A and B are shown apart, each in its own frame.
Chain A
């Protein structure tokens, strides 16, 4: 199995300059890899640094130490030290991300929010909208909502827009930050099916799932993030 993403010895801390510069270590010695066609799950209690790890892999959080090697286009790139422009290219082509919450933009319809990543990858707008419609229908989002900006949607509705936006593209790596947190059982099952389809397509998935049932259904491997607690490095 190809490993499109390898993390080695990554450390992250926050320095709070407004609080006399106190340093809050988050994780250290983070090393793992993910495989194509598998769903790897980050496990551990809240506050263990699961989301921080995902955010570093998406370039959203800076990395203090270590490397994040990503297979991007025809080469290998160290995301931890990549230029903003390279990170943007990686996000466009290689790493997709479903965040916990949807960040809405005023006046942009749910349909276009979902279609946007495809348009950014050069797909024609109408074709992208067609795929967005199919995905929103599959996630049971009422059709009357498609033309509306998602700002006023319920948590579950926003989350489905977010999921559709993340799953619409063919990114070879997909990061999932609790995609099923605010979904009902029916839609949770749809997400499980979507994840299975991604695996079958050879996508490497890395996710956080607090929902035990979903985790059981999708996980090929669980990485215990408590092993990366900053104090444990010497052990």
Chain B
């Protein structure tokens, strides 16, 4: 375990004109930690995720990331090319809709292989072998490697998107409602898979979800957002078992019991 965080976020705000996207968000994320950001739609959690992953530039505030050489770099001062490189190699982004994170008209194998080529792999046999290995890790049969994701079910597409993101050995993965829109049984399988991969690879992850059960299962820490602000944060089980903020109490009490 290192003593330095992987990501330091300080007073991050994003305004859309006079409308608040997210307001004054600060936290540190350490390697191997999974942070869940919860809140209902419109709470600013996706805005926050997009700012952190530099898909969106914040109005104010800073975020610095510890690069592989141990140096912290201010994300919003990097050049566009540097940010893109980070995104392709050291980071992953799992979209709610797999079509946003996959190339739907190239094969499953190529979807995974493409990320490897982006980090400089050129040996076809090796790329294909790694792709096969990753497809099996996300429970996609080897004989589907040449099929396009268009021919895959929603759950399979999502697993393929995860393989595509993790194949380069990223240190930080952003996930936006990774199980949204999937059947419950498919969701459980995906969650279990994600949980295993995150633990085995020691990934840090920021998971945006409106589903508290997903947060409970995947994350150790949690931030609850409302109207762009963090209203409560702490250990996931503490926040869920002893919610303090009125809004968190409302969220927790609204969970349907089965």
Contacts and interface: CB of A to CB of B under 8 A. Distances in A.
B249 A59 contact: no
Interface string A169-182: 00000000000000
Q: Which of B188, B189, B235, B245 has the most CB of A within 10 A?
A: B235
B91 to A, nearest CB: 21
B242 A84 contact: no
Contacts of A107: 188-189, 192
A88 B195 CA distance: 17
A84 B220 contact: yes
Interface string A125-144: 00000000000000000000
Contacts of B246: 17-18
A105 B191 CA distance: 9
Interface string B240-258: 0110111001100100000
Given A55-B241, A105-B192, A107-B192, A17 B249 contact: yes
A107 to B, nearest CB: 4
B95 interface: no
Given A16-B249, A18-B246, A60 B192 contact: no
A89 B3 CA distance: 12
B184 to A, nearest CB: 10
A88 B249 contact: no
Contacts of A18: 246, 249-250, 253
Interface string A48-79: 00000001000111100000000000000000
A85 interface: yes
Interface string A85-110: 10111000000000000000111100
Contacts of A16: 249
Contacts of B234: 62, 84
Nearest to A64: B244
Contacts of B217: 105
Nearest to B216: A103
B164 interface: no
A15 interface: yes
B33 A60 contact: no
Given A15-B244, A88-B220, A105-B217, A59 B188 contact: no
B237 interface: yes
Nearest to A85: B30
A211 B235 CA distance: 32
A86 to B, nearest CB: 10
A75 to B, nearest CB: 14
Nearest to B254: A18
A89 B195 CA distance: 19
Contacts of A15: 244
A104 to B, nearest CB: 10
Contacts of B244: 15, 62
B238 interface: yes
A89 B191 CA distance: 24
Contact of A105 (B195, B237, B238, B241): B195
Interface in B200-258: 217, 220-221, 234-235, 237-238, 241-242, 244-246, 249-250, 253
Interface in B120-168: none
A84 B195 contact: no
Contacts of A60: 235, 237-238, 241-242
Nearest to B252: A18
Nearest to B189: A107
Contacts of B237: 60
A106 B220 CA distance: 17
A180 B220 CA distance: 28
Interface string A15-57: 1111000000000000000000000000000000000000100
B32 to A, nearest CB: 10
Given A18-B250, A60-B237, A60-B238, A108 B192 contact: yes
Interface string A152-165: 00000000000000
A61 B191 CA distance: 26
B192 A106 contact: yes
12 contacts: A14-B242, A17-B246, A18-B250, A18-B253, A59-B238, A60-B242, A84-B234, A87-B238, A106-B189, A107-B188, A107-B189, A107-B192
Nearest first, the 6 A-B pairs at minimum CB distance are A17-B246, A106-B188, A107-B192, A61-B242, A84-B235, A84-B221
Given A17-B245, A60-B237, 9 more contacts: A17-B250, A55-B242, A60-B241, A60-B242, A84-B235, A87-B235, A87-B238, A106-B189, A108-B192
